[in-house]
Amino acid sequence: MQETGEHRSLPPFLRRRNTNVPIDIVLNILARLPVKPVMRFRCVCKSWDSSITTPNFISTHLNNNKIIINNNNNMNKDDDHHHHGYLLHMPNVITRTMYSSSSSSNPVCTVVCDRTFNRISEYPIPSDLLINFAEIVGSFNGLLCLAEYGNGPTYVEVIYLWNPSIRKFKRLPCTWLSQYDWDATGFAYHSERDDYKVVKIYSPSSNRIKRPEVEAEVYSLSSDSWTRVGISLRPNVVVSKVKDYSSASFVNGALHWLVSVSEGEVEFRNRKIILSFDVDDDKFGEIALPGGHGLKRLHSERFKENLAVFKGKLAFITFGNSEFLHFRDGIGPCQCIIWVMEEYGVCESWNKLFSVRLGEVESFFGCTRFGELLVQKAFKFEYGGSKVLWWNNCVIFSLDPETLHEKYLGVQHLPNIATTFEESLVILDRADGQSG
């Protein structure tokens, strides 16, 4: 009997007796396969395609993949291709001129092993997805949140959810708060509701409102809509400024930003807190920064302050050089201090974990799951018998704050970095565009 084209397309384990295999068993097998073959099997027949694109199958595949990842990590600790702790980086500036007729020269996002930093794979960045200045807001379950924006008060930002492993993206609906300037974003995953949320924080334009109070909007993928959310803290305390173009750190089911606050009639007082957003109840809260006499001098312009996730815990990390007003003006090493909140929400549990002297650090991108810092360092060379720092050159390193061991990552561009990444089928059922 002659085989049909559809029959020849079946995987070998189903080609022999495909009519006798119940569809639930077929889907159970498919849900345990990697993303690439699953996408290929969508072409077998309409029933497979419709089943693979259901939310239930996508969720089951994701959960199975996490189990496989954990098992592989325990069994293959020295094999990059079976080690599924990945991070991803891509250029932060993408223009039309970067694309040519040769796809091999087009910009890509690169996935590397987060333990050895060896390259695992590359995904092309489609020309219709991003141009201008791009920022990775966050990454969950293989889904990247990307923000595109320009300079000046009249820009219109665009936010995408992009799954590079299935080459699908979704452009979020726009919001129009003309009297507001966009300050910061956050990307979160609500595991109990299997929902992805994007938070945008705005500040009123200075020429419109005398006393600035920030506002926020929250996007839910499940409803595909934005909701305006108020930021209510203690009486007479308002958020006056968020760290410019700041992406949030997601810890313990909440997003976190470093912000300045005003109290009572005292505006723009130089006091900072951590602003939190609980994705369960969509409410904002505040967390005090590490206190003490030794930290007060760090809350100034001479130090760069960052929030991060350090080995699964909320961390406050500073880089600076007390000998210079701006540490990048000096050639001496900078001091790195890492505070970790040992018990989430308990301010008394802040622990000064490290205080080390590092080289000349310009930018901080985040931490790997092993606690290594991803930073941009100045390129040092000798000119006329003197050591010179070249800040415009991009040299990206990983730094171990405990051993002070550093590793050059070989990144040839100023990057956006997602410190966690994995392949998945997320938004296969919700995408409104295809990349590549």
Torsion from C-alpha of 25, 30, 31, 35, nearest 10 degrees: 180
pLDDT of residue 81: 52
pLDDT bucket at 321, cuts 50 / 70 / 90: low
Domain ranges of the chain: 5-75, 294-404
pLDDT tens digits, residue range 241-284? Answer: 776 656 799 999 999 998 888 776 655 455 788 999 999 999 99
pLDDT of residue 312: 94
Helix (H, G, I), strand (E, B), or coil: what is residue 7? Answer: helix
Instruction: Tell me the residue type at 235.
Output: P
Residue 222 pLDDT > 90, yes or no? yes
245: left (phi over 0), alpha (psi -120 to 50) or beta: left
DSSP string of 258-296, one letter each residue: EEEEEETTBTT-S-EEEEEEETTTTEEEEEPPP-SHHHH
Q: What is the mean pLDDT of the chain?
A: 78
pLDDT of residue 126: 79
Angle at the Cα of 242 from the Cα atoms of 238 and 247, rounded to 5 degrees: 135
Angle at the Cα of 115 from the Cα atoms of 109 and 119, rounded to 5 degrees: 35
Residues 6+ apart with CB under 8 A from 149: 132, 133, 135, 155, 157, 158, 182, 245
Residue 11 pLDDT > 80, yes or no? no
pTM of this structure: 0.84
Q: Can you tell me which residue has the tokens 């992009």?
A: 162
pLDDT tens digits, residue range 393-434? Answer: 567 889 999 998 988 888 777 778 888 888 899 988 786 766
